[in-house]
Chains A and B, each alone.
Chain A
């Protein structure tokens, strides 16, 4: 059984547009809004959402999108091969008193978001924190829930989700592969353990959130 594409480019674009409208609706406009993406692909999605928000609401400030690196806050550092960190870039206005929308590509165990919440609290005190994800695949290990979801994708935990975005990968889709195919993907782009792959633990390396 080969990898099954669940979202094509147009589906991703529609999902992001809908998420953007929902963000504005729940925030009652664009006042005090900050969109922070979690590298790598969450940061790309955050920039796209920022662009869509600016198109919908011209009153949105120009400096509302940033990135939030959570590498140093992870609880699985000692269980996995080491990751290089990415820059954290906040909008000039900071996050104090703002409504921060965290953006990630896949919501799985919830541990990345837990790390992001810790990182945020070291950077300031937002008025509220919301979570937007392109795909929610279930299997939460922490009491965390997304406010804005592109697609709910019920999966089995030995399946693997591949998110590919044009700016990062030169191609764009979201696909699901079964556990066996995922193991067959070793060495290929998106092999288990590389960023952008969200799936079953590689044997011996512990669970990757």
Chain B
């Protein structure tokens, strides 16, 4: 693997391999010395053109646990036109000797531009680009599902037969897109539920069912996993639903809907949560909820990705 830009082009074997390495990385977190010397002398730059807390510190923790040097580069507030600023920044990082660049950018495709432009020779990890993809989030979601389903026997397994319902702001969600590709590649079936206004156009090619009624989806699909997405108010420049109380009543995971979920099913949220809007406090704090596991697993999965991108001298 040279870059990780999307989950769309990952094969099932690639994905299972990343998750298996992440299992070994997770073991490191249980040891007394939570550090590996693997990326000693390598430099990882966190290049964030967009606000983020958990993704940035998750990548920072992952890189540090692998002994890499971490430079945090917050480009917020830059007013230079996008193409130029990205190029200048990339060339600056190249001159500083970055081996890996973790990039978050409000424009879809910015990481791909970095990877293919020739401006910089480093391995590029997409940490969320516009409304396009967020591959490490999908990988940590798949990792979390696999661990909940198979426990300590998770190594080598895919997600065959697992049914996942993803609910909420599909239109603006890069998490949903990355998860649709990755989870179906791993053998899971994916159902997307949202108000019609929050679906993008051109979804016909997506390998997912589309529904508008959350109650019907819970009863018909009997999902093993319900993934609630954040309503991304900062990206909404139009009225997509009448008001938040109506959204919460019709498409939110409230206490009654949580109680109707099948035993053993899990509730996920990529965070940060809008409690009371897309997810109720009781659902977010219940034993079904994997929200905190997702954060912990994020570090392990990102360690695996950084290892695969930066440690080797070539393809396997």
Residues of chain A with a CB closer than 8 A to B31's CB: 122-123
| Beta-carbon contact of B313 and A77 below 8 Å | yes
- CA–CA, A87 to B316, complex, Å? 19
| Beta-carbon contact of A72 and B27 below 8 Å | no
Q: Is A188 part of the binding interface, using a Cβ–Cβ cutoff of 8 Å?
A: no
Minimal beta-carbon separation of B302 from chain A (angstroms): 15
Q: Which of B266-314 contact A (CB under 8 A)?
A: 307-308, 311-314
| Beta-carbon contact of A73 and B38 below 8 Å | yes
The segment from A78-86, A129-137, A174-182 found at the interface with B is A78-86
Minimal beta-carbon separation of B177 from chain A (angstroms): 27
Q: Name B's A-contacting residues (CB within 8 A).
A: 17, 20-21, 23-25, 27, 31-33, 35-38, 66, 155, 307-308, 311-316
Contact string, A104-128, partner B, CB cutoff 8 A, digits 1/0? 0000000000000010001110000
Choose from B21, B37, B66, B312 the contact partner of A118 (Cβ within 8 Å).
Answer: B37
- CA–CA, A82 to B314, complex, Å? 7
Residues of chain A with a CB closer than 8 A to B24's CB: 69, 85-88
| Beta-carbon contact of B21 and A85 below 8 Å | yes
| Beta-carbon contact of A79 and B17 below 8 Å | no
| Beta-carbon contact of A81 and B313 below 8 Å | yes
| B37 to chain A: closest residue by CB | A73
| Beta-carbon contact of B311 and A81 below 8 Å | no
Residues of chain A with a CB closer than 8 A to B316's CB: 81-84
Minimal beta-carbon separation of B62 from chain A (angstroms): 13
| B1 to chain A: closest residue by CB | A82
Residues of chain A with a CB closer than 8 A to B23's CB: 87
Minimal beta-carbon separation of B162 from chain A (angstroms): 23
Q: Is A206 part of the binding interface, using a Cβ–Cβ cutoff of 8 Å?
A: yes
Minimal beta-carbon separation of B119 from chain A (angstroms): 23
How many A residues touch the partner, as a band? 20 to 34
| A124 to chain B: closest residue by CB | B32
Q: A87-B27, A88-B24 are in contact. Are A77 and B312 (CB under 8 A)?
A: yes
Residues of chain A with a CB closer than 8 A to B312's CB: 77-78, 80-82
- CA–CA, A79 to B313, complex, Å? 5
Residues of chain A with a CB closer than 8 A to B20's CB: 84-85
- CA–CA, A93 to B127, complex, Å? 40
Minimal beta-carbon separation of A173 from chain B (angstroms): 27
- CA–CA, A72 to B35, complex, Å? 10
Q: A87-B24, A87-B27 are in contact. Are A81 and B314 (CB under 8 A)?
A: yes
Residues of chain B with a CB closer than 8 A to A124's CB: 32
Q: List 20 contacting pairs A-B, 8 Å CB cutoff, sorted by A.
A: A72-B36, A72-B37, A72-B66, A72-B307, A73-B36, A73-B37, A78-B312, A80-B314, A81-B313, A81-B315, A81-B316, A82-B311, A82-B312, A84-B316, A86-B24, A87-B24, A88-B24, A118-B37, A123-B32, A123-B33
Instruction: In the A-B complex, list the 3 residue pairs whose CB atoms are closest, starting with the nearest.
Output: A82-B312, A122-B33, A85-B24
- CA–CA, A86 to B21, complex, Å? 7
Residues of chain A with a CB closer than 8 A to B313's CB: 77-82, 205-206
Residues of chain B with a CB closer than 8 A to A78's CB: 311-313
- CA–CA, A82 to B66, complex, Å? 15
| B155 to chain A: closest residue by CB | A87
- CA–CA, A98 to B114, complex, Å? 51
| A193 to chain B: closest residue by CB | B316
Minimal beta-carbon separation of A197 from chain B (angstroms): 15
